[in-house]
Amino acid sequence: MASEPPLAGVRVVEFLGIGPAPFASMMLADLGAEVLAVARPGTPRPAMADNRPVLELDLKSTDGAALAHRLAEAADVLVEGFRPGVLERAGLGPETLLEHNPRLVYARMTGWGQHGPLAPRAGHDLNYIALTGALHHASRDGAAPTPSANLLGDFGAGGMYLVTSVLAALLRRERTGRGETLDVAIVDGTTYLTAMLHEYRRRGTWSDVAGTNRLDTGAPFYDVYDCADGRHVAIGALEPQFFAELVTLLGLDAGWPARRDDPQTWPELRREIAAAVRTRTRDEWAAAATGTDACLSPVLDLAEAAGHPHLRARGVLAPQAAGWRPELPGLPRPEPTAPADILARWQIAGPTTTRPGTPAA
């Protein structure tokens, strides 16, 4: 385990919201940044805010607004996830704050971005991934698309995109001495994640008909199948050598590796794979696939995943009172702290009208 996390010494002020911005701030804190979350008085602590202290602050009050300004002047990074214009109306927009702290990295997390026809409109993960084409291919041929919770837009294309942008801006600040404003949009990040699909489409190897391509359940050797107990296994035997192992594992006809790349054979191959998989339970197939390169894995729920030997060996889930919390392995866990401790370290005197939230246990 590293003795010091990579972002030790980096100060982050987070105007607490929901979804991708808290996820990004959680990750910055796990990487070692000292993150102070600012929330409206009485706001319930949202998901993914347990690893950093919360300072309740009324930005409409004179004292609250003044303290917010002092926090921004002392910070390296500011993270906010409101609609465009919200913090400007509170006197906390990037032009104002960067004037007083030119080294500040002001990271703005929205779904649609700070400009464009949809910038002022509401939306959620499902809307953003729908507009970018990503949701379209989360479906079988002829079926409606199925969202995968809000993992793709909010967290993959939003929170991770924000963290990457912040790290790049901090690196550039080391060279230039100046911070900047980051317009981080989920639609931008999602579109970037579709880079491979767009490239395949330009080459003529990707169809706009969902569920007909190798990676969107069109290929029978890249799909999910029912087992004898009603649970499922995922099969991802894309490469020929892995498919050959799958054929052996499932007991299929030995001639399949020679003809599996002909899409005309896919309906027959799908029927044979489905029939074979239905002969055993999920866990029986998982045990049989252990030690092979057949690329067959059990589909686990969250509770089951926490107990899987590989995830336990990797140390990516930390036990909590009522479940588990994902964390970045190989890094020291941040110590619980209180808002007053951070204000003292940043040499900021807070007004008595503010009320700190409960620090993470």
Residues in Cβ contact with 243 at an 8 Å cutoff, skipping those fewer than 6 apart: 221, 237, 256, 257, 260
Q: Using alpha carbons, list the distances in angstroms from residue 9 to 24, 77, 186, 197, 295.
A: 17, 11, 28, 39, 42
3-state secondary structure of 161: helix
309 token code pair = 């030997």
> CB–CB of 285/277 below 8 Å?
yes
Question: Which candidate in 58, 76, 125, 154 is catalytic?
Answer: 154
E runs forming strands in the chain: 11-15, 34-39, 54-56, 77-80, 105-110, 180-185, 222-226, 232-236, 296-298, 317-320, 323-326, 355-356
Question: Please, what is the end-to-end C-alpha distance for the chain in angstroms?
Answer: 22
> CB–CB of 281/229 below 8 Å?
yes
Q: Among candidates 223, 105, 131, which has minimal Cα distance to 185?
A: 131
> CB–CB of 248/255 below 8 Å?
no
- Whether residue 154 lies in the annotated active site: yes
> CB–CB of 221/269 below 8 Å?
yes
Q: Among candidates 309, 254, 262, 317, which has minimal Cα distance to 286?
A: 309
DSSP 46: P
> CB–CB of 297/234 below 8 Å?
yes
> CB–CB of 124/193 below 8 Å?
no
- Whether residue 137 lies in the annotated active site: no
Question: Which candidate in 63, 69, 124, 232 is catalytic?
Answer: 124
> CB–CB of 13/36 below 8 Å?
yes
| CA dist., res. 282 & res. 264, Å (int) | 29
Which residues are identified as catalytic? 124, 154
